[in-house]
Amino acid sequence: MPNQYDVIVIGAGNGGLATAAFTAKNGLKTLLVEKHNIPGGSATSFVRGRFEFETSLHELCTLGTKENPGGIMKFFDMLGVDLEIATSMDHTFRLIVPSEGIDADMPCGPREFIGKLEQLVPGSAPSMMQVAKYGGMAAEAYSFMDSPEFSIEAMNERYPDFFRLAGHSVTEVLDELGMPKAAQNIITTYWGYLGAPPSELDFLIYARMLMGYIVYGAGMTRMRSHELSMALEKVIRDCGGQIWYNSEAEEILVKDGKACGVVIGGKEYLAKHVVSNSHPNMVYGSMIDPEQVPEGAFKLSNSRDIGALFTTVYLGMNRTPQELGIDSYSYFIAPSSDPEVQYRGACNTRDFPNYVIMNCLNNVIPDCTPEGTCQLFFTTLYFGHGWDDVTPEEYAKIKNETAEKIIDCAEKSLGLNLRPYIEEIVVATPVTFARYLNSPAGTPYGYQAHPWDSFIQRNLTKKDESFIGNLYFAGAGTRRGDGYSSAYLSGLDAGQEVVRAERQKGGIER
């Protein structure tokens, strides 16, 4: 039947692309539908004037090198994707707190990172070594959780520290390890990447991510994240999968408690499995007949906090980074070194919280803009409902004022003179992301992580979250949470579940 698929995937974000690549590669008749005319969701690029801007990616985590591959490199290798990735980042982050005189430029490599931390905060090395050890253990333990040998007993035997630490926050564990507060503030600089402050963030998840950046370094595709999305798109097409752009899935069809197809342009397309890269709140709230949605699905979605929101400013500069005096790739500029203060300042406000990440892509990929120019990318975070009541009349003013404040902050904190050299400027707010990604309030981060609801807890209860048969989720709104790596792996999880189900039914021969 022409309108009958093994699997229909809704949304070509990182999660959806990963699922469709995996199911197509495994011989399933796969249809991927995307409401825009290009793939990627957050993982894309856009052109203004003579600049091709990176939309979202600061750093691809757990990448590694061909010789020492991390989880994401293995994922691309498994799909046969060959990418040209710049991995020349020898630094992790540079934390700048003008009010406290802090300029912490932290290197990659465990020994180098620990050495630098000790130099900045004497006495911090022993506790940082322990964090490194736990981070390595967490990475292994998480992989084991997904292996066929996994059981609670086996986990406990192999990784006795895992359940001792699981569920404890970053702050609790670092305090227990006796890490000086000043060192804690430095090593938790990446909290924004996981969208929750250290007091709310699961220690093992943070330690694993931090060590991923320190041990494997980070990477960036030469042609922006759009190259990643196009590479996955190619796998899908090469393996016989179909991709329909400009195609919004309006409804997921459910019969007898099982997903059985989608409606696109008023027409029904049937499938044995439906995978949604659209956020669960959108799916349960507006894409399925309410009569067919179990009460538990509504309750769970409503009990979770929507993930972080962003305002980003993209600048095309008619000067080189050297001429502008920008020598690092990734600056974290904050009003206070205390991440809890940074977080509180970003809650329920639409004002600029004075916390901003500034990236200069040319310091990793020198030729990413025409000669004599460079591109800068500023990101600030929000949590909660600050942007909910912005009216159309005041929107442009608020957006422009926010951009002005962000540029001011970078100029003052880093002693730069940027304004005279701006050739292109683009500003995206939570409203822009909501419109583009179709996610609640515009979050690209799924749900906020809390100690009661983080990867470990979601992993152990994942079966209880399967409310509708043959319906799966991929992307930041799943158990793995936000970020490129997590979204790809969540897509792989969904693809594997579908392939497993088809194998059990005898639907796939190999």
Ligand X SMILES: Cc1cc2nc3c(=O)[nH]c(=O)nc-3n(C[C@H](O)[C@H](O)[C@H](O)COP(=O)(O)OP(=O)(O)OC[C@H]3O[C@@H](n4cnc5c(N)ncnc54)[C@H](O)[C@@H]3O)c2cc1C
431 contacts 402 by C-beta, under 8 angstroms: no
DSSP annotation of 51:
E
Out of 9, 28, 43, 407, point to the residue binding ligand X (CB under 6 A).
Answer: 43
Question: Taking CB under 6 A as the rule, which mask of x and - marks residues 249-268 in contact with ligand X?
Answer: x-------------------
Contact 490, 478 (CB under 8 A): yes
Q: Is the dihedral of CA 163, 165, 166, 168 positive or negative?
A: positive
Binding ligand X (rule: CB under 6 A), the pick from 6, 20, 25, 59 is 59
Question: What is the C-alpha separation between 173 and 353, in angstroms, rounded?
Answer: 27
Residues 380 to 439: which contact ligand X by CB under 6 A?
433, 437-439
H or E, element range at 432: helix 430-437
216: its two tokens: 């494997």
Q: What is the 3-state secondary structure (H, E, C) of 211-279?
A: HHHHHHCCEEECCHHHHHHHHHHHHHHHCCCEEECCCCEEEEEEECCEEEEEEECCEEEEEEEEEECCC
Q: How far is the CB of 232 from ligand X (least distance, A)?
A: 11
* Nearer of residues 128 and 275 to ligand X, judged by Cβ: 275
Q: How far is C-alpha 320 from the chain's CA centre?
A: 29
Based on CB atoms, which residue is closest to ligand X, 41 or 71? 41
Residue 444 contacts ligand X per CB under 6 A: yes
Q: How far is the CB of 189 from ligand X (least distance, A)?
A: 13
The answer to whether 311 contacts ligand X (rule: CB under 6 A) is no
Closest CB to ligand X among 165 and 207?
A: 207
State the burial class of residue 344 (Cβ atoms within 10 Å of its Cβ: 0-12, 13-18, 19+).
Answer: middle
> Which span (32-40, 178-186, 334-342, 495-503) binds ligand X, by CB under 6 A?
32-40
* 227 neighbors 83 (Cβ within 8 angstroms): yes
Site for ligand X in 138-177 (CB under 6 A): none
Q: Residues 172, 248, 251, 305: which binds ligand X (CB under 6 A)?
A: 248
Among 6, 7, 9, 11, contact with ligand X (rule: CB under 6 A): 11
Query: Which of 321/483 has CB closer to ligand X?
Result: 483
The token pair at 110 is 């465990």
In 3D, which of 440, 439, 453, 442 has the Cα closest to residue 481? 453
265-284 residues in contact with ligand X (CB under 6 A) are 277-278
For ligand X, give the closer residue by CB, 188 or 278: 278
Task: Looking at residues 469 to 488 of the shown chain, list those that interact with ligand X (rule: CB under 6 A).
Answer: 475-476, 482-485, 487
Cβ proximity to ligand X: between 128 and 260 the closer is 260
Query: Which residues are near ligand X by CB under 6 A?
Result: 10-16, 33-36, 41-43, 56-59, 61, 248-249, 277-278, 310, 312, 379, 433, 437-439, 444-445, 475-476, 482-485, 487
